[in-house]
Amino acid sequence: MIVGLHLPGGEPPSDRGQEPSGRRKQARFMATLCRPSVSVPEHVITMEETLELARSRHPDHPQLPLALRLIENTGVRTRHIVQPIEETLKHPGFETRNKIYEAEAKARVPAVVQRALDDAEMLTGDIDAIIYVSCTGFMMPSLTAWLINAMDFSSNTRQIPIAQLGCAAGGAAINRAHDFCMAYPDGNVLIVACEFCSLCYQPTDLGVGSLLSNGLFGDGIAAAVVRGRGGTGVKLERNGSYLIPKTEDWISYDVRATGFHFLLDKRVPGTMEPLAPALHELAGAHGWDASDLDFYIIHAGGPRILDDLSKFLEVEPHAFRFSRATLTEYGNIASAVVLDALRRLFDDGGAEHEARGLLAGFGPGITAEMSVGRWQTDGTA
């Protein structure tokens, strides 16, 4: 297992327990993940409307009852999409869809970014790097270049676009921001996640996994600042990645002339059993017990993911209430889920100063991007 960047010196990571013998101590630099800003589009589709669409469009599908049951079991009550449902169900072609992605991203992302900057008490000139994550459209140059010009970021701002980690990219963005601030302790990083999953709808994909996806994924944009010094939020202390061997085809895209065709293996919901030990290992390397933390910000790929993680981490289901709320109200908004779940923790009043927490995103690979840290209140030591 690969854990985060370590620098010599500093104090033990926690007064609740020393690091295991032989491990170098984590330097106590400030790298604080501040309050995320989140926005979802104005067009809403409910669970009831999703089920009725499935019945009306696929009345003779041999596995329709199974698909309907799986959609109902997601617990997704509402999702938000960038176009009215009538337009979403059409397929004007990959070129047109990608143009919609670009136009909608440029129209919607700046306001979300500005709120994130305001919440972190940062100006565009304070940002040293922008990490942009998305798996539902393609631009080159990345939206990072457009943002730098459109919002007057410095021309020296580093650009770090991440396009192929799917839902895990939210956790990866947090980890890469943490790494950047460990290398440049006075640096600040802007994270942006922009996901328009509805633009990947494929009307000819009729497998049960595709039908389930049609009732699970939603659209959303999130942004957050990781401050190298100061700020209120999660003080990031250690991060790591883990890939379950030989599972790279369990979540994937088949890229065709018609665009991205999402492939979801039926074994994916069972991946928390092999991933839970990786979460335990990361926390254990930090001298913490993953089963005994104060808050958990977890990617909500579906209810089975959260149920199994509760079981294998031996954590009460209530610990994942923010992730469940995102799933219920927005559906799976891919890389933006982790940031939205964290936003809900902020809106709930945050956590006690020095409260210990775990953040994790899961996605293609099968990959887990994980981090641990404490709640930091600005102005406190």
Q: Looking at the annotation, which residues are catalytic?
A: 167
Q: Are the CB atoms for 195 and 336 separated by under 8 Å?
A: yes
Q: What is the DSSP string of 356-368?
A: EEEEEEEETTTEE
- Rounded-to-integer distance, Cα 322 and Cα 58, Å: 34
Q: Are the CB atoms for 33 and 342 separated by under 8 Å?
A: yes
Q: What is the rounded radius of gyration, in angstroms, for the C-alpha atoms of the chain? A: 20
Q: What amino acid is encoded at 237 in this protein?
A: E
- Cα–Cα distances (Å) from 70 to 38, 53, 270, 324, in that order, read 27, 15, 15, 17
- Rounded-to-integer distance, Cα 16 and Cα 137, Å: 44
- Cα–Cα distances (Å) from 152 to 25, 68, 139, 236, in that order, read 39, 48, 20, 28
- Rounded-to-integer distance, Cα 63 and Cα 79, Å: 24
- Rounded-to-integer distance, Cα 203 and Cα 263, Å: 14
Nearest by Cα to 220 from 38, 35, 346: 38
Residue 27, Cβ density class (10 Å: 0-12 exposed, 13-18 middle, ≥19 buried): middle
Q: Are the CB atoms for 324 and 300 separated by under 8 Å?
A: yes
DSSP-H helix ranges across the chain: 47-57, 64-73, 85-88, 94-119, 143-150, 169-183, 208-214, 272-285, 303-313, 321-330, 337-347
3-state secondary structure of 226: strand
Q: Are the CB atoms for 120 and 225 separated by under 8 Å?
A: yes
